[in-house]
Structure 1
Amino acid sequence: MLTDMHIAIVGGDARQLEIIRKLSEQDGKLSLIGFDQLDDGFAGANKHSFDTLNPASVDAVVLPVSGMNNEGEVESIFSKNKIILREEWLDKTPGHCVLYTGISNNLMKNMAKRTGKKLVELFERDDIAIFNSVPTAEGTLMMIIQNTNITIHGSKIIVSGFGRTGMTIARTLKALGADVEVAANEGDLRARAFEMHMESYPLKELAQRVRDKDVIVNTIPAKIFTADILSKMPAHTLIVDVASKPGGTDFRYAEKRGIKALLAPGLPGIVAPKTAGKIIANILADLLKEQLETEKGGNS
């Protein structure tokens, strides 16, 4: 239980509601920032702003999956107000206060370092990434079905990247009868693709391999699909880029060529926010309990 632990939950989307619900059930004391338009009531949760919440009382700050932008602004679908996490506010939280986020940027990392706060990037964890790969794969299927006029069964598909997300997507597409190829530079990942009966090759071969493909699914957050590679694709090829922003595709050139290229980061929060929220909430609750036990041990 998280009794008497004061947690500030800041901004976000529908996934945050599952986090609020879970931590409320664990008897945490919750302060909600960026939820002024939320009608739901949660036991032990009160709405605040950074101006009305005393930072000295906060044991943990929970940011949404998207973290914050380079100006410190935190997105929230439950507020029309601009929500900015300022270093001055964070600096006034206790030394044991932990900053939890889905992903981070240099601003957040530097802010945590300068204020002496521990930063936990949830989406760097294998467990969350693997759990999240399931709704990501389902969302990818949805986008392929909605944006093509052929069946997945029998279609020729490349999945670029064969990490925690790419592996689940490739396995799901193959199970539906697609001819799936894997592009990855890591030899061990290509070996795993071979074991799963999928042809694989390094990224440098993409220019030759894309010539007859119906669908490309990119999971690599780096510019993989350059103008040179896109120029080799058939015009009917669909690209679904699920890598984090800005993705791994030259979207400007794709549009110029008439290739439909869709940037779709955060699919779990779009297609299955309740499930995606529960995944994060369960892991976060465990981490907060560990934090609480560490604090108790340090105070004993």
Structure 2
Amino acid sequence: MILPVVAGILLNGRGDYLLAQRPPGKAMAGFWEFPGGKVEAGETLRQALDRELSEELGIRVDCASPWMTRQFDYPHARVAVSFFRVLAWAGEPRPCEFQTLGWFDPAGILPEGLALLPANIPLISALSLPPVYGVTRAWEFGEERMLTVIGEVCARGLRLLQVREKSWSLERISDFVQRIRQRTQPWPLRILVNGDPELAQRTGADGVHLPARFLGILKDRPALPWVGASCHSRGELEQAQGLGVDFAVLGPVCPTQTHPAAQPLGWSGFTALRQESALPVYAIGGLNGLALSRAIRQGAQGIAVMRGLEDWGEEKIPQHLCGQGAA
């Protein structure tokens, strides 16, 4: 029997997240976790979240978005934890059940000796993922104009970028990655190269973005700090999860110029697939600045954007969701 559980990830204005230490007398006492608890009979997940955070922290949840669901086997139960990102609440979180509370920086290292519940561990790195994943198109823009755009959007909050120049040689991609690093020195930008893991390693990137065709070929997660994957179906999401990638990009949500023949998922199709995934998932395909809020409400990590990246401004990237190194 799987026990349904909800957990709330409270994010403050700096992007810090709240953890609570389980008090003596509870199962797994002493471990730290995102606040939450069991879903009672007749409750929706959101109703359970609101009740649990009111009971545990004394707050009223005003805005919460579903994020991902993860299953885990504990000694006392098998649980399916539905995690919500809680973006707005009324009241000051306080320990209503004698637990210890603490705020933590996603970009930092947890204090030595702090033991997280196992189901919560994968979410810590996911919390450092920003809401916008930029994708290059220097093949169309030209390198100089693309570098200018990258510098401008990094100054406005972009922290994750995919170099997607599929027709280029290894040498040209490597040179482009280094030029991006020079242009974005003031900001902690993570650069992933679209292609195979060896290509990404040889260019000096921070990670690789796997095209969907690699998901059925690779047997293990590439040995790189960050691994993303392009997915278009339930099967590809399952393959990506099985490889242990850090996040997936799912689409196209809307019609695109890049893949005009692809059948769009629509927001309903995106949400249905996203709900079945235990990965952070970016929406992609024909999305503009107005789509970010909707994507987050639909449970996405955020959106991936190629066309229109140059139009992004600070008002489109919520600072409390910007992740590691947010300005």
In the superposition, the TM-score normalised over structure 2's length comes to 0.25
Structure richer in strand, relative to its length: 2
Higher relative contact order (CA 8 A, sep 6+): 2
Please tell me whether Structure 1 or Structure 2 has the larger radius of gyration of its CA atoms: 1
TM-score, length of structure 1 as denominator length: 0.26
